[in-house]
Structure formats: C-alpha cells, structure tokens
Structure 1
C-alpha cells in the first residue's frame, strides 16, 4: 500500500502583469500558455508514468497542487476553471486526498479576484512589499500596493481573514523584513520570508551578513510575541521541538525533493520545483511530449543519501536537511553541496535553541499553537 505526499507545482503561463526587481522567472517566451488539451495530456503523463516511479499514490496519499506563475490571472477564466477541474479529477484517480491552492499577485479586478477565491475556496496566497520598490506595476510601487491592498481587503470581507503572503528578502528587502513581520502580525495573516535566489534573470542579491541580520531581527520580533505563523521560523522551531518527523519537511529544508515534488512548466518541461525550472537546473523530461529522463531523476533522488560532510555532522542537520538543492547547485555547482544560506539557518538555530532553553519546550509549544495559519 503506497502513501506519501506529492507537491505538484503547475505553471500554466509565464507572463506577468507586474514588474518585480527580484523576479527569477526567465520570460524567454512569456506569452506561452499551456492549452487545456496539452494540460490534460501532461497531467495524465505525470500521474501514470512519473508518480509510480516516485513511489507515491494510493488511498492514504495526498497530492497538493500549487498553481504558480507568471500570473494565474492572465489565464482566461473559463480555461483556468477547466484545467483546475481536470487536474482534480485526474489526480483523484491515484491519490486518496487531493487539494489545491494558488499563488497570485492579485493584480486584477475585484470580480476576477473573487472568482479566483471561489475557484480555490479561499486557498489563495499572494506577495507583499509594504514599503519597498521591489514590486511594481509599470515601474510604480505605489500602484502595485494600492491594487493588492484592495484585493486583499476584498478577500478579507468574504473570508474574515487576509490571504497569506510571501516577502522576498533581497538586497533591499533585507532592511524591510522586520516591517513585514510587524504588518502581518497587525493585520493577522501568515507570512513567508523567502531569501532571494538567482534564477534566470539578474537580481539585487543580498550578502550573507545582510540576510543574517534580516532573518534574526525578524525572528526576535516574532518569537513568543506574534499571533501569526511566520515561515521558515515556525517550521524550524517545530523541528527543534520534535513536533514533526524527519522527512515531514518543507521547502527549502528537505533533501528528498525528487521523491515528493514536481514542477510542470507551460511548455511541458518537468523539474523538481519552480525554482529549479527558473534556473534551468536538471530538467527530467517533458510531460506533453511524453518524455521522462529516469537517469536525471535518479541523480536528483540521490541527494537524499549524498550530503555534504559538514551537513552530516551538523547538530541541526535533522531540521535543516542540508538546505535547498537548487541553492546548492547555484553555490557549489553540485546537487549535493552545502548552500551558502547555511550561515543564515545556523544563526536562526542558535536563536531557536536559546529560546527553548529560556522558556522551556512546553511554553514555546503553547505559544506556537496560538499562532494563526
């Protein structure tokens, strides 16, 4: 009897109606949009050919389908609805539990935003930039903030809560991360702080000192004080508290990505995740063309067992799992290397352990259980 959890990133289009200085998506062909016919073909190929090799599926398994971009609102409403229902129906034939969600910049009319919210029953996430110039519409950050704030309020009126958000910590964002944590806490929505990564376009990177300062300041502001979940802090804290199993992990803290994650691009290309796709790292086939490169996929899978020696001997290895595979390729040229972000995660683990020592596991667990997700 099989089991396991598959995360399936589905990118229907790469075009976007916003301009982000840190965007990693290489828009070589931004107007390419997958058709419903090709999407059906791709989903069935993933289900029938790739998933069995990965070893997941069955009545006790789950697939989490995450629609990412580009920008999902650029897909015509009828086409989007058709493809979402196709994916649900096809994957339900293999997985015991099927759920989906969408990441959108919410740059669209109120009606279109509500239609998206309805289609995904509130499972909508977005991106924020409260006082920087990272995210713009035609170069105007205030225009972006105005549209997104309106859309978030629209969803909040319906759901009685705002959608969760991602804030990307690049060179500029490193000075604004704490502000974003404060804002999320004040307005009551969960937040993900994501360290910038180098994809297919030039970005304003942050150095390790900037990232360490940004993440540790934000953690100190959040820990034992906030009422919302902020990632990666909550996940790493749970790991140190012993509340999750070894491979109950989340990006970027897992080394078994190849066995539980797939990204489908609009042209049918298959990668482990959308960051690997943006970087062009280790594609393992094309679902529209019916190609699955088992040799490449096995190289990816081997990262579960082949890990940097320093990672193996690290006291926080069980929680970190060696960090992000895509970052390892960027920083070391190897799937099995140790990413430079090790410096950031090490600084966080030291703070986490000090927090647990100061307050005790039960008090920390009790506080964490009150944080809104």
Structure 2
C-alpha cells in the first residue's frame, strides 16, 4: 500500500484501489460500504475509503474466525453485529449512507444529519418517537381530567379504509388529502373524536410488484354519559374496488364502557400505536402469502417507511371534532413549537431540504426516489 511517488502509505483509497488491495470484486466492496463495514470520506466529488478501516475490517474478520466478508459473523454472533451497528452510527461515516443502513428511523435524521446533535427539522414529523410519547401523555391526562368532570360512557378505537389513497411501489404517489373524506364522514357519526391517516406497507396481489401502500384512518372516539350520541358500531363506508388491490391489514374495533383512568390510557396507547400494529399485521399476512417476495423487498420497504415518516408533518395526518379538537391541539403543540424553534438554530432543515437530500442520495446510489407525498 506504498505510494509510488513518495513511498508514503496512503490514508485513503479510491474504490478501484481498495477492491484490488482487498482482492474482492467491486460488487462485494459496495455491499460492504452499504452495510457501513468500511468508513469513507468525500473530497470534492471523489469518494475515498479510509485505509485504517480496511485494516480494522480485516482484523475483525480474523477475530471472528475468518468470516466471509462479514456475512457469516452476523449469523454466528448477532449481538456483536448489533453492537457494531451502534458504534458505526457514532462515527463520521457518510451521512445519508449511515442513516439509510439497517432499519432507519426518523430520530436518526434529526440527531445525525450533518453532524447535528439537536433537532434540526422545522416541522414535527409523524415518525418522531418523542412526539408519539408526548401525544400519549397529553391526550390521556386530558381525557382523564375530563372524565372526572363529565364522566365518559364509552371510549374506543376504530379503523376505516381509505382506499382512494392507496399507492403502488412502482408509482409511489400518496395523496394524504384524500384521507380527509373518511375522517370527515366518521366525525358526523361521532362528534367527539380524533382521527389519524395511517399508511401501511402491504403485499399487493400483483405478482410483478414488491409491495403496495395501503392507507387507513384510525379514530379514537369518546361518548359521554349525558350525551345522546351513539357508538358508531361496525358501520363502514361502501368501498370501491381499489386500483391497487393489496392484502390490507386489519385492526379490530375496541370499545370500553365506563372506563377507568387505566382504561383511558390503554385505549389512547392503542390508538397511537395503531400504525405499528397494522404494519406488524401486514408483515404477518405477507409472510404467510408471499414469504420470499416480501423478504426480498425488506430494505426497500424500510427506506420507504422511513421516508414517509420524515416527509409527512403531524398536522397533515391528524384531525379532530368536538371536545377532542382542543385536546388534539394541546397534544401536538410541544412538538410543533419545538420544530418551529429549530429555525433559530444554525443548520435547520425544512421539508424541501429533506426532499432534496433524499433525491440526492437516490441519484448517488442509483436507488429509488423518495415517495411523492401530496398534503
């Protein structure tokens, strides 16, 4: 690894030099880079691999018993691999490459993008775990306080399909505005409710597509003892055949009568965690129907799920009616204010900036472009 000019050992190598020195093909080398097994730097338009990371990778492979380019070590010692992923995230690896590795989450783009340690998004995104936790605490506390003043007769969670918003993996155009129609229809039947549009990646019936995006509306509704409003039951809107038929996930309607404080909190948690529940159900269905096809799209699905969570602001997916409207505004206020205050810090990013970075990453890696989310 000596330089022909000065005799010095180079600190960084090009892709061509690295694959010749390691004795592997470029395909294998790119696979290692995509899993962050090797650290890289960018100088101008050139992407260089740190020589020290090649030595470290060879040492790790030797220590693990001569693992073949890091593949067998994962199967033999998954705990070691998990620890290595955590360490990799802390290193100064290429930003978007690190964010998109494994199963990326919204908070990673908040904490790691451009080396920032504080939130830099200027809008509260639906994928934020902190926003989710704050929402549960605020809604549960206010409903419990309301229950002491005006006792609740019923509280429940219900799912309504929004097939008009469905999209295919081939053409990821998600029109969230179409989800307002079933949400508004639900409000007329239940005047005190909070609804949320939920996107789920499901297995399509079409064999030539990897997955489809199924859209639903999940609603949390309450009914008071002294009110004449009746529980909407299992009534559903007549659905037109979807242009993208998919094996849709299901969420059974749950209703609790004369709820206690614990019942109220449990129902709020089910409402907030409905997206994860639906995605888990969709995964189970997909594995039972098309196991190999579903597993083959795992990385692509993880990337799309991450992008949908980052690109969609919470204000665009939630709606409420009656007393629940004030509760919704209070529950989302901390996250919205915190995101708005990000503009006062250096290096903040708005939605357009994030979309630009996602497109830039797709062009550099020859990957799929980010979904077009119409709000």
Q: TM-score band (shorter)?
A: under 0.3
Q: TM-score when scaled to structure 1?
A: 0.23
Which fold has the larger relative contact order, with Cα–Cα distance below 8 Å and residues 6 or more apart in sequence?
A: 2
More helix by share: 2
The TM-score, its normalising length taken from structure 2, stands at: 0.22
Q: In terms of Rg, which structure is larger? A: 2
